[in-house]
């Protein structure tokens, strides 16, 4: 019988893939393939001002060079704005969304506490209507004081109170673009994603996505948040921390390192093999239980 597992990898084309990206891709790919499931590829380019020209094509070429094989066509968020607008309209009709006139400075001046993701928890200034003469700049989703809890396959049981930890959050920004949280929830439902395997840097976003799924009547997928690769300074590998891009001409050693980072004892001789041979070993020997159950691992400890 065909597996009901459907996973995805969803990079943002704001720059080339690096070792941290590879770890997330390898973890999600092997979790899908070893369960007989599908692995879909999505390019999260909804935040159009941040997109680097040519980065999307470079990502696709890198994944192909590393031997990844995705199922079906690539989904581009920049082609899905109508679907996001429809979801927002549904929430508006249900009275779950309201217009917000606050600028960033006004929020900074009035916020009473930091948000769990490092920003500021929205204080609810516009929750009961706009003041005279003020126009909506953004649209926010109402939250309440109930705890949103879920069991992460790696990180265990986690809970967050959106009202105090985040506040009502933005679904459509002041510049007219749809927010990541709305886009990802709509696309996961559209693609029928059953399992989300991604980096632990996105743990703080998960309760917001679960709240959105519930508000829209979507099925909640299972989650597994992999340890994030950090540099010697404890910073997540990223474009901002100048993480080097993957070398497409030397895929096997990078794949072996990604497997070892995820707790898989890939033999040292595989670094001299072809990418397809590394994948053959990985699919045969993959053990999800061996992945370290931590949020961050320094890159420096890798062999």
* pLDDT digit string, tens, across residues 26-67: 999 999 999 999 999 999 999 999 999 999 999 999 999 999
Domain that includes residue 98, residue range: 91-180
d(CA 18, CA 43): 16
pLDDT at res. 303? 45
Q: Residue 64 contacts by C-beta under 8 Å, 6 or more apart in sequence? A: none
Q: Are residues 197 and 75 in the same domain?
A: yes
SS3 1: coil
Please check whether residue 63 lies inside any domain of the structure: yes
How many Cβ atoms sit within 10 Å of the Cβ of residue 233? 7
pLDDT at res. 1? 52
Domains of the chain: total:
2
Q: Are residues 289 and 226 in the same domain?
A: yes
d(CA 296, CA 276): 28
pLDDT at res. 118? 74
pLDDT at res. 109? 84
Q: CA quadruple 163, 207, 182, 177: dihedral positive or negative? A: positive
pLDDT at res. 132? 81
CA end-to-end distance (rounded Å), the chain: 40
Q: Are residues 280 and 196 in the same domain?
A: yes
Q: Are residues 146 and 18 in the same domain?
A: no
Residues of the chain with pLDDT under 70: 1-2, 300-303
Please check whether residue 208 lies inside any domain of the structure: no
Please check whether residue 212 lies inside any domain of the structure: no
d(CA 203, CA 199): 8
d(CA 86, CA 159): 29
Q: Are residues 176 and 98 in the same domain?
A: yes
Q: Domain with 59 in it: what CATH number? A: 3.40.50.620
Q: Are residues 120 and 148 in the same domain?
A: yes
Please check whether residue 18 lies inside any domain of the structure: yes
d(CA 88, CA 215): 11
Nearest to 255, CA basis, from 12, 15, 1, 19: 19
């Amino acid at each position: 019988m065909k597996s009901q597992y459907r996973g995805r990898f969803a990079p943002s084309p704001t720059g080339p893939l690096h070792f941290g990206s590879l770890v997330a891709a390898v973890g999600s790919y092997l979790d899908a393939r070893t369960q007989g499931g599908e692995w879909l590829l999505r390019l999260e380019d909804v935040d159009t001002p941040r997109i680097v020209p040519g980065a999307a094509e470079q990502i696709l070429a890198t994944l192909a060079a590393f031997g990844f094989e995705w199922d079906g066509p690539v989904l581009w968020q920049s082609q899905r704005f109508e679907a996001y607008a429809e979801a927002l309209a549904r929430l508006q009709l249900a009275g779950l969304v309201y217009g917000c006139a606050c600028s960033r400075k006004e929020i900074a001046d009035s916020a009473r506490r930091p948000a769990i993701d490092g920003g500021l928890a929205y204080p609810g200034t516009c929750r009961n209507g706009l003041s005279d003469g003020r126009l909506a700049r953004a649209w926010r989703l109402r939250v309440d004081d109930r705890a949103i809890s879920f069991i992460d396959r790696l990180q265990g049981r986690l809970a967050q109170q959106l009202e105090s930890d985040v506040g009502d959050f933005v679904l459509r920004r002041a510049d007219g673009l749809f927010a990541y949280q709305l886009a990802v929830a709509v696309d996961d439902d559209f693609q029928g994603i059953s399992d989300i395997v991604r980096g632990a840097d996105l743990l703080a976003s998960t309760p917001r996505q679960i709240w959105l799924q519930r508000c829209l009547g979507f099925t909640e997928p299972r989650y597994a948040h992999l340890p994030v690769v950090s540099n010697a300074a404890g910073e997540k590998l990223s474009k901002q921390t100048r993480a080097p891009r993957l070398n497409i001409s030397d895929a096997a050693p990078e794949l072996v390192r990604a497997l070892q980072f995820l707790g898989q004892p890939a033999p040292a001789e595989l670094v001299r093999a072809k990418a397809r041979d590394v994948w053959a070993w990985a699919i045969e020997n993959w053990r999800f239980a061996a992945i370290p159950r931590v949020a961050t691992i320094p890159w420096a400890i890798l062999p």
